[in-house]
């Protein structure tokens, strides 16, 4: 006679869905010699005291599974918030779909307070490039990005545009003499630079950070690869700027874009791994793993991130110091800003951690630099403090073509024609950095008029980037 016990009976008896229920159903089927009531009573006993049935031929598998289940560590995956939180988007028509999807996932983190997407946004690891995320008491290493502290620095010189045009060869020579590009590139021996950042106490907080010191010392003042550059250009102020104390006019300027080199990348990789171990998230959010700001790991990352930021700043300072001395100029104004970083800020009346991953800080009257491309203008801007945008703006024009697509579709001839047309001299760079690979900076600026006000326009003239596939030392 069959006992006809089904899954519902077992669920009602308190068995859990999944592997255990499957084992219990198999056990029930093996208990056909018993009546329904007898079998259910027995299965209840197995559920409550599995250790008593480990030697029972018919119930051993179920009892073993139950004991294993009881000793399995609890599922530590942190659930995403299901309710959809709104976030501000600027220049939606210029933003690729993948970036919006990534931002939507970031908005579902339980630590998220607010988010915003800038008009140059595109897909990245975890948080999109051009994404801004404010969190409560949590820092996300991939919300900052791999190149921690990556930034722009601009020096405006007391040299009129005409004096530059009269002697371009000299400026080209000094640019080559005093900058270093390429993966792994650094300075050695007597060419090594020095800066107070190398004496920072933060290098001593952990053995992991300490071992980064030597490479940091040799890479100080170098620029790296990818979209990093150092360039001479002409900056135009259409009217006198009171805060900068600069008269209307066209001046020679130096603009640099680079980050924290191998040091920042190593810190980013190490703490991302640690965050992923400590903060398990569903697959689609795995790269958004965070560190609690009150935890040891969170505090370590915060210090290391700030060190990498100071280091990136020091690299620009060395570059600008060397080139300023080489041309014998006086600096009228200097502006710089990180665009891959996290800050403690007040947003909507509460303290939050604002992650800007490829986004320019644009708090009220905060100055920033938004570059275009090697031929398109860059802009010196003043923030408008737009709260919906979490006091941010784009960090450039943003790519229109992937690196691969640019290399496939753009010819050297096309690139040379654009450079010539714009009167730009280029040292290094591959087709993946061609102007056509980037969006129209004027459209991008148009999409963020509520975020920043343009103060001056910068036209690149002599641009240096890493050579194609560069590995030089």
Partner DNA sequence: ATGTCC
Residues that bind DNA (CB under 7 A): 146-147, 150, 183-186, 208, 211, 224-228, 258-259, 261-262, 265-266, 269-270, 273, 471, 473
Task: Please indicate if the annotation marks 257 as binding a ligand.
Answer: yes
Task: Please indicate if the annotation marks 145 as binding a ligand.
Answer: no
CB of 31 closer than 8 Å to CB of 42: yes
Report the candidate in 355, 275, 271, 277 with the shortest Cα–Cα distance to residue 103.
355
Q: Is 338 a catalytic residue?
A: no
Closest separation in Å from C-beta 6 to DNA:
48
Closest separation in Å from C-beta 303 to DNA:
16
For 33, residues 6+ apart whose C-beta sits below 8 A from its C-beta are: none
Closest separation in Å from C-beta 237 to DNA:
29
Q: How far apart are CA 245 and CA 248, in angstroms?
A: 10
CB of 236 closer than 8 Å to CB of 218: no
Closer to DNA by Cβ: residue 262 or 460: 262
For the purposes of burial, counting CB atoms within 10 Å of the CB of 380, is it exposed (0-12), middle (13-18) or buried (19 or more)?
buried
Closer to DNA by Cβ: residue 50 or 371: 371
Task: Please indicate if the annotation marks 398 as binding a ligand.
Answer: yes
Task: Please indicate if the annotation marks 196 as binding a ligand.
Answer: no
Task: Please indicate if the annotation marks 374 as binding a ligand.
Answer: yes
CB of 232 closer than 8 Å to CB of 252: yes
Closer to DNA by Cβ: residue 71 or 190: 190
DSSP state of 423: T
Q: How far apart are CA 20 and CA 65, in angstroms?
A: 7
Closest separation in Å from C-beta 321 to DNA:
20
**Residue 120 in 3-state DSSP?**
strand
Catalytic residue of the set 122, 178, 320, 395 = 395
Closer to DNA by Cβ: residue 383 or 430: 430
Q: Put residue 249 in one of left, alpha, beta given phi > 0 → left and psi -120 to 50 → alpha.
A: left
Closest separation in Å from C-beta 432 to DNA:
9
Q: How far apart are CA 279 and CA 298, in angstroms?
A: 12
Closer to DNA by Cβ: residue 4 or 471: 471
Task: Please indicate if the annotation marks 178 as binding a ligand.
Answer: no
The DSSP result for 161-201, as a single string, is: HHHHHTTHHHHHHHHHHH--BSTT----GGG----GGGG-G
Residue ranges for the known binding site are: 147, 227-231, 257, 339-340, 371-374, 395-398
Which residues are tagged catalytic?
395
């Amino acid at each position: 006679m069959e006992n006809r016990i089904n899954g519902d009976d077992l669920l009602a008896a308190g068995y859990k869905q999944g592997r255990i229920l499957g084992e219990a159903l198999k056990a029930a089927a093996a208990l056909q010699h018993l009546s329904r009531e007898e079998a259910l009573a027995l299965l209840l006993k197995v559920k409550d005291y599995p250790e008593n049935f480990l030697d029972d031929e018919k119930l051993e598998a179920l009892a073993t599974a139950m004991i294993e289940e009881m000793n399995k560590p609890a599922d530590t995956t942190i659930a995403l918030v299901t309710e959809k939180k709104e976030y501000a988007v600027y220049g939606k028509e210029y933003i690729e779909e993948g970036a919006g999807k990534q931002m939507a996932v970031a908005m579902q983190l339980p630590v998220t307070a607010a988010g915003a997407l800038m008009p140059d946004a595109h897909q990245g690891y975890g948080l999109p490039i051009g994404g801004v995320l404010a969190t409560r008491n949590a820092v996300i290493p991939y919300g900052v990005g791999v190149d921690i502290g990556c930034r722009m620095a601009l020096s405006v010189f007391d040299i009129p545009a005409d004096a530059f045009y009269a002697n371009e060869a000299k400026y080209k020579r000094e640019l080559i003499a005093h900058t270093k590009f390429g993966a792994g590139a650094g300075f050695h021996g007597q060419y090594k630079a020095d800066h107070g950042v190398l004496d920072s106490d933060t290098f001593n907080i952990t053995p992991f950070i300490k071992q980064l010191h030597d490479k940091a010392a040799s890479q100080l003042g170098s620029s790296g690869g990818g979209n990093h550059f150092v360039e001479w250009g002409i900056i135009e102020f259409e009217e006198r700027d009171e805060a900068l104390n600069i008269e209307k006019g066209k001046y020679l300027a130096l603009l640099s874009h680079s980050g924290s080199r191998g040091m920042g990348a190593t810190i980013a990789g190490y703490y991302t791994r640690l965050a992923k171990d400590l903060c398990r998230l569903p697959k689609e959010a795995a790269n958004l793993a965070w560190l609690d700001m009150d935890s040891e790991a969170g505090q370590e990352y915060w210090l290391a991130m700030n060190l990498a930021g100071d280091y990136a700043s020091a690299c620009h300072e060395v570059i600008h110091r060397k080139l300023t001395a080489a041309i014998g100029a006086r600096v009228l104004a200097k502006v710089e800003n990180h665009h891959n970083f996290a800050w403690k800020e007040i947003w909507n009346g509460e303290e939050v951690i604002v992650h800007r991953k490829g986004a320019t800080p644009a708090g009220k009257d905060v100055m920033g630099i938004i570059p275009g491309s090697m031929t398109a203008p860059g802009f010196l801007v003043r923030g408008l403090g737009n709260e919906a945008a979490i006091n941010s703006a784009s960090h450039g024009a943003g790519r229109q073509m992937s690196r691969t697509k640019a290399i496939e579709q753009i010819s050297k001839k096309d690139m040379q024609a654009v450079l010539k047309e714009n009167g730009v001299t280029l040292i290094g760079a591959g087709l993946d950095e061609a102007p056509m690979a980037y969006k129209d900076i004027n459209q991008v600026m148009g999409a963020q008029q509520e975020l920043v006000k343009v103060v001056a326009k910068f036209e690149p003239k002599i641009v240096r980037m890493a050579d194609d596939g560069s590995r030089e030392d």
